Amino acid sequence: MNPHRTVFGATLAAVVLALAPSAVAAGHGPSMTPSTPSPLPTQAYATINADERINVGAGAQSATVDWMFWDGGAQVPVPENDSLVIDARDLAGIASVEVDDPRCKEDLRVVTCVNRDASQSRSVEFTLRADPGAAPGVSGTIGYTLSADHATGATAKAKVVVGTPNLVVGRVPDVTNAGIGSRINVPLRLRNTGDLATDRRIMLRWESVGGLVFDREFSNCAYGEGDDPGEPGSQASVTCVFPISSDSVPAGGTVELSSPLAATVGKRVLTAVTDYSVRLLKPREQPGGGSHQGTGPALTLVRASGPGGGFENGAEGRFTVAADNSADLAADATTEPGRGAGEWTLAINAVNHGPASAYGIDDKAVAVVDVALPKGVVVTGTAHMEEEDSPYGPCLLRVSSTTTAPFEAGHRHYVCTVPFGITAGKSRLFELRVKSAEGYDGAKGTATVRPGPAGIPLHDPDTSNDRVTFAFGTPATPTAAASPGGNPAATGAGRTLIATAAGAALLGAVVLVVRRRGRTH
């Protein structure tokens, strides 16, 4: 919402008129004694938005206060001459306030900022620094007062505390060779590297992709999952909130979970990746998270014992669970004649025969298909579209064994990527439009499935089907009839299909079915 404008809404009278016909039709007509509508405001209402609690240290701590007006649909005059007063007199000996804004002037710890034009920003940024000698934990109050022509006034305040808690997360060890159906424990430690005990609620969050299924055993934790919890493409999450008092972490202190999280390794897991983080919540902030609340006892933070496994440099970490599982990826290819002489459609499928599903990490492809056309044939286009629901995967120009470039027609070597992964038993379709020259002699091209930049080991049990060869025969005539699906109809010898993979011939009918499916087939 634009903070410079008055917010307009529907009036109560308009809402009543809009609802009246339907209410009467439903048998709930107006009462015999009509109620008196609430009077509309004669001036805009003002509201202030600012943090209620600010921790400051010796270094600069930025803060922002902004404001807005609304009129409930009354169409009152636009407020003018906004004046915001920042009163920091209670922070004497605690913290200083600096405002670098031409609209603002300071007088004995009182800063006044004035908007002379209604188009000016209704927001002021300022900086706080703890005063030298101010002890951690000492606090004061900063006040905000807003006034404007044609508007009500508004006030707000924030508690300013000297000292800054700073939580970092411990390193969670990776798990290797996890058995399908086995249960793993996920411990976690926190360390406060700041100079003040945590003075707000602590939120811990785990977000996992790859097929882990977390137990719902703690009452102060919310659990989220996708439509199919056992499928690796479904994201699972755990969000736990700890109160201020008993679960506070002292400055320099280290705590750990009173009990580790427990998770089951799903049957489709190949490599599950879990990101975890810690954050201090603002007053009254709603943490969000999963839709399922735990039913057991509350998870708590207790003093850590033993050396532990070290700590990350910040508030985030990641661990992986590699299952004792494999994904058999294979390449399929079919060629179909196009409408013009020498024009062809090359359909490539990256197929996952399972048993595990394979998913990428951080938008890095779990697998790629290296497509090399024979001499005398070049690519003229690709069916890939940027829409999220496109059935075709993207193909890039291959520059070298380690380098690609954006798609460009007119070349023979491309790399098609599988960024979202492939579920076991399904496939990913790529389609290239190609054209052969008069000198093409029927040589074969190749499509080879390889592990992608995500670096996830596939443990492929059958490498013989990773590569498929294809060739292009005599093209159809430009007048070939089109099939209902938009492809030229097969007419005897006018349709040539040459593709082999592990000695198995691919049928053109299979390709027509595949093309009508979604991203993974």
Give tens-digit pLDDT for 199-245: 999 999 999 988 899 999 999 999 998 666 556 667 899 999 999 88
Asked whether residue 137 carries a pLDDT value surpassing 70, the answer given is yes
Question: What is the tens place of the pLDDT at every residue in 357-392?
Answer: 988 888 888 999 999 999 999 999 998 765 555 677
Contact in structure between 173 and 204 (CB atoms under 8 Å): no
DSSP 324-353: S--EEEEEEEEEEE-SSTTEEEEEEEEEEE
Q: Is the pLDDT of residue 518 over 50?
A: no
How far is Cα of residue 178 from the mean position of the Cα atoms in its chain? 27
What is the pLDDT at residue 40? 72
Topology match between the domains 45-162 and 327-470: yes
Spell out the domain ranges in the chain: 45-162, 167-323, 327-470
The pTM is what?
Answer: 0.76
Two structure tokens written together for 214: 């977390």
What CATH architecture is 45-162?
A: Sandwich (2.60)
Percent of the chain scored above 90 by pLDDT? Answer: 62
Residue 90 reports pLDDT greater than 70 = yes
**Per the omega criterion (within 30 degrees of 0), is the bond before 287 cis?**
no
Name the residue among 412, 489, 396 with its Cα closest to residue 446: 412
Say yes or no to pLDDT of 409 above 90: yes
Q: Any residues with CB less than 8 A from the CB of 388 and at least 6 apart, and which? A: none
Q: How far is CA 34 from CA 15, 30, 37, 50, in A?
A: 15, 7, 9, 41
Mean pLDDT of 70-92: 92
In this structure, which amino acid lies at residue 289? G
- Please check the confidence at residue 7 and state whether its pLDDT lies above 60: no
Summary mean pLDDT of the chain:
82
The first and second tokens of residue 249, run together, are 């972490």
Cβ atoms 332, 352 nearer than 8 A:
no
Q: Which two tokens stand for residue 331?
A: 């390449």
pLDDT score at 75: 84
Query: In the prediction, which pLDDT does 308 show?
Result: 74
Tokens found for residue 371 = 């497509």
- Strand, helix or coil for residue 510: helix
The architecture (CATH level 2) of 327-470 comes to: Sandwich (2.60)
- CATH code that applies to domain 167-323: 2.60.40.10
